[in-house]
């Protein structure tokens, strides 16, 4: 009998299992053969704490100190690296970019309006004739996603988390004050079932007798391209179109580019569509002096949102001891630490941790009961 059984070993499940393990027995079940196969393993995350809803921004702020200085028990490597973000707009987007920069500055974000010449100095292949305005946000950083994810998994295992892969649950039942189900013909039971199944969280919830929340998986396509010969992109900032029509960022010696698409799909092993990649490349070529002869690699990931695009953390209002950890959208990596600490506290029926409560989050604001 486990105290907690966590369904899904992506960033949500792995971090929650890690948070629970010091004081409880935890099983972490992953349907795929490797943890983090779907959204987590396909993320090119940035730490940009002023993006997303107010709740996601609060969770990012509450995660910042951990990401900047993780304890030695977690990793001895740095999780964040300087990157910066350059926001650009065409002449017809100039007013919109000015509003965005003003809103960011009002929120306390450091941002500097740049001249066209200064923007081109940061990203030398930008076409000056394309640009109408630019602004630089220096505090955006790269996240070492693999080190962060492996840190949660490894520390959890050190504290006794039992990880099972290729583990698809069958016939979940609540009886005798515990959840009982089969995993690869093995009987597993736990007092609390934590639903951290990502895009499949509604499927798991309904199988347990709950009402679907209405989670929607949105596909995002990404491609890697080679820069022109002799051009180093390693020191470039990430570049964002102010209307989110595309973005790009360095990935070692290549450029990662996306049309920033949000295509509604059913939960699946997502793949990039040729049209989405073609759109991303076309938009990038309009803004930068790059001729793309071929795409080195492409892929797609799923970003899963609740109907209000806020996180879902808490016990189901109808089904006993079914706990939801869902709806992380595109912010799951940068908020994982605070998200998991909040989830662990609520799953243990404790109050919201002080550092998170100070950011304005309450148990009711993230509860699945808001959809009842």
Is residue 249 domain-shared with residue 289, that is, in the same domain? yes
Of 305, 327, 350, which residue is a domain's last? 305
Same-domain status, 90 and 8: no
The answer on 21 and 114 residing in a single domain is: no
The verdict on 231 and 294 lying in the same domain is yes
**Mean pLDDT calculated for residue range 73-87:** 96
Mean pLDDT for all residues in the chain: 95
What is the structure's pLDDT at 50? Answer: 85
Residue 169 maps to a domain? yes
Inside any domain, residue 269: yes
Provide the pLDDT for residue 302.
94
> What sign does the dihedral 282-119-101-46 (CA atoms) show?
positive
How does pLDDT run across 336-359, given as a tens digit for each residue? 999 999 999 999 999 999 999 999
pLDDT of residue 38: 80
State the pLDDT confidence band at 114, using cuts at 50, 70 and 90: very high
Task: Kindly state whether residues 242 and 97 are assigned to the same domain.
Answer: yes
Residue 326 maps to which CATH number? 3.50.50.60
Domain shared by 226 and 277, yes or no:
yes
Residue 44: pLDDT above 80? no
What is the pLDDT at residue 116?
97
Q: Is residue 80 part of a domain?
A: no
pLDDT for the residue 368: 98
Same domain, 334 and 315: yes
Place of tokens 């099972």: 164
Same-domain status, 258 and 194: no
Same structural domain, 287 and 170: no
pLDDT on residue 41: 74
Tell me the three-class secondary structure of the chain, residue by residue.
CEEEEEECCCHHHHHHHHHHHHHCCEEEEECCCCCCCCCHHHCCCEECCCCCCHHHHHHHHHHHHHHHCCCCCCCCCCCEEECCEEEEECHHHHHHHHHHHHHHHHCCCCCEEECHHHHHHHCCCECCCCCCEEEEECCCEEECHHHHHHHHHHHHHHCCCEEEECCCEEEEEEECCEEEEEECCEEEEEEEEEECCHHHHHHHHHHCCCCCCCCEEEEEEEEEECCCCCCCCCCCCEEEECCCCCEEEEECCEEEEECCCCEEECCCCCCCCHHHHHHHHHHHHHHECCCCCCCCEEEEEEEEECCCCCCEEEECCCCCCEEEEECCECCCCCCHHHHHHHHHHHHCCCCCCHHHHCCCCCHHHHCHHHHC
Q: Say if residue 224 is in the same domain as residue 364.
A: no
What is the reported pLDDT for 45? Answer: 82
Establish if 112 belongs to a structural domain.
yes
228/290 Cα distance (integer angstroms): 7
Residue 253 has pLDDT above 80, yes or no: yes
Q: What is the pLDDT of residue 39?
A: 79
In percent, the amount of the chain with pLDDT more than 90 equals 91
Domain membership of residue 31 (yes or no) is yes
Do 164 and 203 lie in one domain? The reply is yes
Which range marks the domain in which residue 220 is found?
85-138+216-305
User: How many structural domains does the chain have?
Assistant: 2
> Domain boundary residue among 270, 286, 305?
305
Say how far apart CA 340 and CA 217 lie, in whole Å.
Answer: 21
Q: What is the pLDDT of residue 262?
A: 94
Q: Both 163 and 283 in a single domain?
A: no
């Amino acid at each position: 009998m486990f105290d907690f059984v966590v369904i899904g070993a992506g960033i949500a499940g792995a971090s929650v299992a890690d948070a629970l393990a010091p004081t409880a027995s935890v099983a972490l079940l992953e349907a795929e053969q490797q943890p983090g196969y779907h959204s987590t393993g396909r993320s090119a995350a940035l730490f940009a704490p002023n993006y997303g809803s107010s709740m996601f921004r609060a969770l990012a702020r509450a995660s910042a100190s951990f990401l900047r200085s993780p304890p030695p028990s977690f990793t001895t490597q740095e999780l964040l690296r300087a990157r910066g973000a350059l926001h650009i707009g065409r002449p017809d987007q100039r007013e919109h970019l000015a509003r965005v920069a003003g809103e960011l500055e009002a929120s306390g974000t450091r941002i500097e309006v740049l001249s066209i010449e200064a923007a081109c100095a940061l990203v030398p292949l930008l076409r000056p004739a394309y640009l109408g305005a630019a602004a630089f946000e220096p505090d955006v950083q790269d996240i070492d996603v693999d080190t962060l994810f492996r840190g949660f998994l490894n520390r959890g295992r050190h504290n006794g988390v039992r990880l099972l892969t290729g583990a698809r649950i069958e016939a979940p039942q609540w009886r005798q004050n515990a959840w009982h189900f089969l995993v690869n013909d093995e009987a597993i039971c736990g007092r609390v079932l934590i639903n951290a199944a990502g895009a499949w969280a509604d499927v798991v919830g309904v199988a347990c007798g709950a009402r679907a929340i209405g989670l929607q998986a949105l596909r995002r396509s990404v491609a890697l391209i080679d820069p022109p010969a002799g051009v180093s992109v390693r020191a470039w900032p990430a570049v964002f179109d102010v209307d989110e029509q595309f973005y790009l960022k360095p990935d070692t010696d290549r450029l990662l580019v996306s049309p920033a698409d949000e295509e509604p799909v059913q939960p699946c092993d997502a793949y990039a569509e040729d049209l989405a990649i073609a759109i991303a490349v076309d938009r990038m070529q309009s803004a930068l002096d790059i001729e793309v002869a071929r795409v080195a690699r492409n892929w797609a990931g799923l970003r899963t949102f609740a109907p209000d695009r806020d996180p879902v953390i808490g016990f189901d209002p109808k089904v006993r001891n079914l706990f939801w950890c869902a709806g992380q959208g595109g912010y799951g990596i940068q908020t994982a630490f605070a998200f998991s600490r909040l989830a662990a506290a609520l799953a243990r029926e404790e109050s919201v941790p002080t550092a998170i409560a100070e950011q304005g989050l309450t148990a009711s604001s993230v509860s699945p009961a808001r959809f009842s």
